[in-house]
Chains A and B, each alone.
Chain A
Amino acid sequence: MSGAEFGTPRDLAAAYALGALDAPEAKAFEELLARDAELAREVAEYREVAALLALAEPASSPTDGLRTRVIAGTPPRSIASAAPRQRSAGWMPWALAAALLLAFWLGAERARLGTKLDQASALLSRRDTLLAQRDTLLQAQQRTLDALLTPGVELYQLTATGDPVPGVQLFWDRKRNRAIIHSFGVKPLPDDRAYQLWFIQDGKPVPSVTFRPAADGRAQVESIDVPSGAGVTAAAITEEPLGGSPQPTSAIYLVGKLSGA
């Protein structure tokens, strides 16, 4: 969430509807979305756009079997909506009665097996989703670890008074001009505020990402672009509006020299 290009949360509505915000950005945006009906309407419209995107490229039609399969996956009817069954009249031939009983038993058995199958499918589906979520998390953690362990990455501390807490660790990969920050023990913020990172280059603040810490004061932001060229001598954190600011609007909360710059 860079304040340099995005002045208001509304600017992120399209990206949110497309799924292009990373997890911390999406979480911060959803907090705002829950309270802002106008923003929710805007997201709904962008979701309509997203729903249409796939139509631009001709796709084959699904087979007829898919419709059958989807209908076969209809959830079991709730008991309340099941129609009461009527018994056959007593004068019907025994054979017909027996056939009806058999059909009834088969129907009940089919329903019982169908329910068990649905339950098993639902369980498998839930486990698939869980596995996929864990896989995504693991991949993200691996990417972070790879980035931190890249040769030449330097670690700097941004602090309020020199004590480590509250603080931000800044991992700077000078070769790629990228950084990762990790906060700990920073104070909580009102819903409409965020922390913003600034790089001090040639004595002037250059706006970078915003972030909101979890309840324990922790936050992590990756793939941060560091201003290119020489003259980046320090980094600082200030408190800003949720979408970030082009210039600092509050006093520096945390700061650290980037020695060797």
Chain B
Amino acid sequence: MTGNPGIPSDAELLARASRGDERAVGMVYDRYGQVMYAVAYRIVRQPGDAEEVVADAFAQAWRDAGRFEAGRGSVAAWLTVITRSRALDLVRARSRRERITDAARRSDPESTLGMGTPGASPDAAVETKERERRVAEALADLSPPQRAAIELAFFEGLSHSEIAERLDEPLGTVKTRVRLGMQKLRESLKPYFYERFA
């Protein structure tokens, strides 16, 4: 989300937010709060925990804003990496404390599809909706084993060898599935990237 005259770029907003500009914080949240929540929810599977993860991820983003390198990726991707890392930390800590006894109080998400946050503009909500549709189609185009390998890596934090062990498949097969699946997604989703690369 960059390049429109009069609209601050993500990198500018990130810098302002890290210096204590509440308005910039709100704008970054409106742009990427929903996608960060979606990542967190896919990993922790609990709405309250997902919100905890997003709040922590933003706090870390403000602290680490100086490490963001604009030329090496988008703010959206950077925030996603932070969110994934915090969510996996939470799951591991939860597992460690063996407090997965809360199945009863686990509530299913309401069927309000991610239409953006209250502060997001209608245009942004439409864009988000289109992105969701295209990502679902692109993933559906993968073979089920390719999709499974990619999702185990990203949402469960497993390495190639751990995926091979989990699926009882040869390591080389898993590597190939991840590589070919991601290549296919890269081609089909390029128009929907948060930032394009020359």
- Chain A residues with CB under 8 Å of chain B are 2, 4-6, 11, 14-15, 17-22, 25, 40-41, 43-67, 69-71, 73-78, 81, 121-122, 125, 128-129, 131-132, 135-136, 139, 222-223, 225
Contacts and interface: CB of A to CB of B under 8 A. Distances in A.
Given A122-B63, A129-B89, 10 more contacts: A20-B158, A44-B74, A51-B80, A53-B42, A55-B132, A59-B37, A60-B110, A75-B62, A136-B92, A223-B165
A23 to B, nearest CB: 9
Contacts of A131: 93
A18 B178 CA distance: 9
Interface residues of B, number: 91
A47 B77 contact: yes
A56 B119 contact: no
Contacts of A66: 33, 37, 51, 54-55
Contacts of A64: 118
Contact of B197 (A41, A53, A222): A41
B12 interface: no
A226 B186 CA distance: 33
B193 A45 contact: yes
Nearest to B50: A62
Given A44-B77, A51-B194, A73 B178 contact: no
Contact of B51 (A50, A56, A63, A74): A63
Interface string B31-59: 00111011101100001001100111011
A59 B38 contact: yes
A69 B163 CA distance: 36
B171 A51 contact: no
Nearest to B109: A60
B25 A70 contact: yes
Interface in B155-173: 155, 157-165, 170-172
A197 to B, nearest CB: 13
A15 B165 CA distance: 17
8 contacts: A15-B175, A19-B153, A22-B159, A40-B72, A55-B128, A59-B38, A60-B47, A74-B17
Contacts of B1: none
Given A15-B179, A73-B55, A22 B22 contact: no
Interface string B178-189: 110011011001
A44 B122 CA distance: 28
Q: Which of A43, A45, A78 has the most CB of B within 10 A?
A: A45
Nearest to A118: B59
Contacts of B150: 18, 53
B89 to A, nearest CB: 4
Contacts of B155: 53-54
Contact of B154 (A19, A62, A70, A225): A19
Contact of A74 (B20, B114, B128, B162): B20
Contact of A125 (B60, B96, B161, B182): B60
A75 B21 CA distance: 8
Contacts of A69: 51, 55
Contacts of B7: none
B135 A70 contact: no
A62 B37 contact: yes
Given A14-B178, A49-B182, A70 B136 contact: no
A56 B56 CA distance: 23
B192 A52 contact: yes
Given A46-B182, A73-B59, A61 B115 contact: yes
B19 interface: yes
Given A67-B33, A136-B92, A59 B109 contact: yes
Nearest to A10: B179
Contacts of B189: 48-49, 52
Contacts of B151: 53
A58 B73 contact: no
A20 B153 contact: yes
